[in-house]
Amino acid sequence: MQLLKLTEEQLRNISTNINIQRAENYVGKFFDCKIEDNILKGKIRGNHGVYEVELRIDTDPLTFKCQCETSKEMFCKHAAALGLTYIYTPWVFESNKKIEREEITSIEELQFYLRTTKLKTLLDDLRKCCLGVAQLSELTGISVQQISAIVKDDLNGKYHTLTDPLKLACLFLIEKGVNTKK
Ligand SMILES: [Zn+2]
């Protein structure tokens, strides 16, 4: 699988710091987000209606399209925000690309997998193959209540410092096929 990577450096290369700062306010406010042929697409409400924003991420420098006035002269905050949204919450972009557990061969692919796979999905898989939440709680020292709260946050796109470690733990246990019922 070809991973579409985008870094903040790439955005900073064509954008001013002020622009990136302004863009931060727009992160998460896009709708109808999707990836098509390495182009991120999303819509956002601006000062003059809804803007359709596009950011092509397989070119260097990045290329973009937006319907705002600023975009006629320079890389606008909407395009930067679309990029940041992809970096922070890639799973909001509808894509027919998805990486399977078996296909992970690099750190980047692992990160992509962690970002695009819900903790709930991993817990469900874990329950099917080996362990329940109670046992996971015992192994990780994270209470069942806290795990439930993290799962709920994860479903709502909210990130917790323990989200990825929990996902990694699930992944390991699923791969290992660790089973308490021998
Ligand atoms: Zn714009």
pLDDT for residue 36: 87
Question: What's the gap in Å between 78 CA and the centre of ligand 1?
Answer: 4
Neighbours of ion ligand 1 (CB under 5 A): 66, 68, 71, 76, 78
Instruction: State the total domains in the chain.
Output: 2
Same domain? 79 vs 127? no
Q: Using one digit for the tens of pLDDT, what is the confidence trace for 131-154? A: 999 999 999 999 999 999 999 999
CA 103 – ligand 1 centroid, Å: 37
pLDDT in tens, 16-53: 999 999 999 999 899 999 988 889 999 999 888 999 99
Cα–chain-centroid distance for residue 113?
Answer: 9
CA 51 – ligand 1 centroid, Å: 7
Range(s) of the domain holding residue 151: 117-176
Q: Cα of 77 to ligand 1 centre, how many Å?
A: 6
92 near 30, Cβ under 8 Å? yes
Is 107 inside a domain boundary?
Answer: no
Tell me, yes or no, whether 22 and 76 share the same domain: yes
* 153 in Cβ contact with 160 (< 8 Å): yes
Q: Which of 77, 92, 107 is the last residue of a domain?
A: 92
